[in-house]
Structure 1
């Protein structure tokens, strides 16, 4: 059907071009003293017709080739086609709906997931690597003592505050596990929220909306407020898409006094701005309609070997992330126009200076340039600038990041973790505040072979049992996986072998954020 439409548009476009050429020749060669206005009108009309046909042809061709690419994806499995039916949605939120209700509903979701895995999907399990197969080495309970795909709460006996941890897109609470455990050890009551559509199966992410995520965050913050004595601070900590959700909640709470207020915000690779091409992915509905192919809803289909993160990626994930970031941008702009930016809480962000998922300059211009408090801080992890690597580095990011960082008069503190010199792999922290730079010693070095962090690396320790270093004994470390093959021969993405999956400076980061929170409490 889509192919026929493309051919039809091509024929009409060719006829329109022929008509345009014929009319133009006639306009030039024939006398123009008679019917000049009519001839000009026909030329303009044919020009618009050509433009319309060619634009429609380009769009149709794009959709056609999109459909062709979708058909080339591997066959969809049960976890791409089915999902638990009891998942929370924004329509269920009410004054009476509590965090305990959310946990109970989540229990039903995972019961349904287990039933699907044991019955409908059981015949599709092949090989030793499948997160949905209870006998697989990739099953969540094979990698930890509890299923970190699920929400979790740790209450402090004498809490000094409450922290809500929000994971990233296609992730699960596991991505914030270590940070939350450290915060709990420091005396905070901690809630890890499994955001709707996550932690179960990829199909769930193909049907969720950002409004569902935002509603769940509101439920969780209110529940956390009930767990922590009044007067103690509430803190949001968000990774990637969880960072956008954290800011969305903070901005909503400024305008809605019924929502508990937030004292501080911790961000890790926050998804403030995403690649503009994500906007185009909403066309997948049209591709699916014309091609009648369920694969059109997916940008990639891979083996589900990660116990805590989907490997397959539905188009809807891009669409919802794009919409969420646009909502945050509009709210920030409205707050600035209303001259209420001083109501924003202090923000600490940890970000790799190169990031293939989010647009780093937007983090600076859309958020940090607008912060009025001197307590806020942006920590950037630079690339490894050893001189011997200089001709291997692509430093094009500097042309967009450096000018934004160089702007004078900004209130926030800027900290850059980078090489002490071009001859040393040791790092130091270079801090700019109120226009002057200072250097602080840091106990850390660039590991051999690591050129930069990545979007996915920031919140994970090198000792992480799933994403850690190769010298760990854990048999399933995805951070150290190594295979040699043509990418097309594998059902796992080649980026798994290239991107750094853990943060070699994690200990510094964790200590730094604790010190920052302590400084906020003492102000």
Structure 2
């Protein structure tokens, strides 16, 4: 009895400690929410999007009509009511600002359809990321259109209008919007034409979830290809507790606790402020996705999954690269899928300040070989020719096939980033080298800003400017998409690809060669001896 009583007392004390700690943390969160910048109209006005049920019974035109109404409401409730303090050039909601989206020739916050010049040979649906807009995949859409596809870029509910829109939406509604876009794509081209789905970040999770759902639900049209950019297959484990951080917001004086970041909105096509609900919904989506992957893999249903082509930076502070491999690709059957990884710059001129873990990132995510999918690594060597190399390991193989590419890592860039993959260097908003004709098209060229000065002199964190926003290897991405799109199109005989639609990234003087992999799945000349010995 004494032992039982002692145990009960320990448990009781433990519960009291947890409760006290929780109250303390919530108190600190409530106190912190009283500091910092105030909430603005775009943080408090919540547009009324269609619900998941309404989306499942809507068509594309109804969605566009609702979207028109939403933007009219934003104009009336936010833009027309701005106080004098918010009528500044850096505010995307001020109608006289150079970054005011309705003032552009095209507002890429809205859903769009791009049509080829001739009869469509297929259709593609493009799903953008969290806090993002349809702008992010417009370059990918244009590649598809050049191949004769109809491209449908949907603005996911809660996005493109005001950041407060993300405080009152959920992943189930995003999935309903995905289904709507896929219905429209199938309607556009009919059942006998190729249908692809492309997802970026959170949109990558939606694309995969839809494809998995279509394996079991015959009412859903199945895609023939899945293309993913920095897909959100897994997020940090702390995201599951994000909702607790917003509890103080239940009391009006602590409304700012519902936000993880309140930042000026100077980006015309992406929210800078981030609500807690965004993190919560991303975690719920990735949890549901991983659970479905496990269930379908155990039932041997993933053999029917269409090929998945993923482009991913080995260093990614937003999503888990390891989860892409261990939670998704490791469960794939041999269905023609491929994972393309962009390694860190092993010739960067900043080795003295580089995190020692960064050069090891590739070895730490690599699986044990052989595997059922194709792995491609885009990397350079610490010495020798500076050209990037494409290193390919075919499914079931233990031999790397290597070729040189006519691409090099910019000397001051030490890695790619989560946000950079789908943007070419000449993108007018995010590109590092926007062409002169488009450099000021959207009021600011964020990819070119390299400010120097004292801390506190800017309206944004230097982290925002430090992160690379465009992909110096986009020509390689474009060429790989050309190959992927062309194969089923040529098989249909419906479209003849023009000679200038393709881009080459190979070095004409570099022959292909093979090399064995080591025990950790990597070739010995891909990593240094220290890196090989440090691999798990």
TM-score in same-fold range (> 0.5)? yes
Give the alignment partner of residue 442 of structure 1, picking from 405, 409, 421: 405
C-alpha deviations, 1:180-200, integer Å up to 9, x for none? 012111111110100000000
Contact residue 325 and residue 367 of structure 2 kept, 8 A: no
One of 420, 425, 430 as aligned partner of 1:462: 425
Deviations 1:391-416 (A, max 9, x none): 43325267675355241231111111
Q: How many Å apart are 1:41 and its aligned residue?
A: 3.9
Q: Structure 1 residues 120, 51: closer, same or farther in 2, change over 3 A? A: same
CA apart distance, 1:446: 1.1
Alignment correspondent of 1:514: 482
Give the whole-Å Cα distance in 1 for the aligned partners of 2:84 and 2:261: 22
Tell me what 1:234 maps to: 195
| CA contact 1:481–1:496 (8 Å) conserved in 2 | no
Counterpart residue number, 1:243: 204
Please say if residues 427 and 433 of structure 2, whose CA atoms lie closer than 8 Å, have aligned partners that are also in contact.
no
Name the CA distance, whole Å, in 1 between partners of 2:82 and 2:36: 20
Equivalent in the alignment of 1:155: 115
CA–CA distance in 1 between the matches of 2:231 and 2:78? 33
> Tell me, what secondary structure is at the counterpart of 1:426?
coil
The answer to whether the Cα contact below 8 Å between 1:386 and 1:423 also exists between their aligned partners in 2 is no
CA contact (8 A) 2:315 2:415 kept: yes
For 1:133-152, list aligned pairs within 5 A: 133-141=94-102, 144-152=104-112
Which residue pairs with 2:329 in the alignment? 368
Q: How does 1:86-101 map to 2 (within 5 A)?
A: 87-95=49-57, 97-101=58-62
Distance 1:509 1:190, change over 3 A: same
Structure 1 residue 387: Cα displacement = 6.9
Given candidates 4, 8, 26, the residue that maps to 1:63 is: 26
8 Å CA contact retained: 1:353, 1:382? yes
Secondary structure of the structure 2 residue equivalent to 1:165 = strand
The whole-number CA distance in structure 1 between the counterparts of 2:475 and 2:153 is 21
Unaligned segments of structure 2, at least 5 residues: 492-536
Task: Flag the 1:490–1:401 CA change in 2: closer, same or farther, 3 A.
Answer: same
* Residue correspondences, number: 483
For 2:365 and 2:36, the matched residues in 1 are separated by 40
Q: What SS class does the counterpart of residue 106 from structure 1 fall into?
A: helix
Point out the more displaced range, 437-446 or 313-322.
437-446
Cross-structure match for 1:72: 35
Shift of the 346–82 alpha-carbon distance from structure 1 to 2, 3 Å rule, reads: same
Contact 2:311 2:340 in 1 (8 A): yes
* d(CA) in 2 for partners of 1:61, 1:302: 26
Higher helix content, 1 or 2: 1
Instruction: Describe how 1:9-28 pairs up with structure 2 within 5 A.
Output: none
Distance 1:373 1:120 in 2: 57
Structure 2 residue 229 is matched with structure 1 residue 268: yes
Equivalent in the alignment of 1:171: 132
Looking at structure 2, the residues matched to 392 and 131 of structure 1 have their Cα atoms a distance apart, in angstroms, of: 36
Q: Could you report, residue by residue, the CA deviation over 1:358-404 in whole angstroms, capped at 9, with x for unpaired residues?
A: 01000001111122235211111111001754443325267675355
- Greater C-alpha Rg: 1
2:341 aligned residue (356, 367, 380): 380
The equivalent position to 1:182 in structure 2, one of 143, 160, 168, is 143
Query: Which range moved further: 482-491 or 264-273?
Result: 482-491
- Counterpart CA distance in 1 for 2:71 and 2:259 is 23
Structure 1, unpaired ranges of 5+: 1-36
Q: Does 1:106 pair with 2:67?
A: yes
Structural RMSD (CA): 2.0
Q: Where does residue 447 of structure 2 map in the other structure? A: 479
Distance apart, 1:146 and its partner CA = 0.4
Question: Conserved in 1, the CA contact under 8 Å of 2:431 and 2:447?
Answer: yes
Which residue pairs with 2:15 in the alignment? 52
Counterpart residue number, 1:280: 241
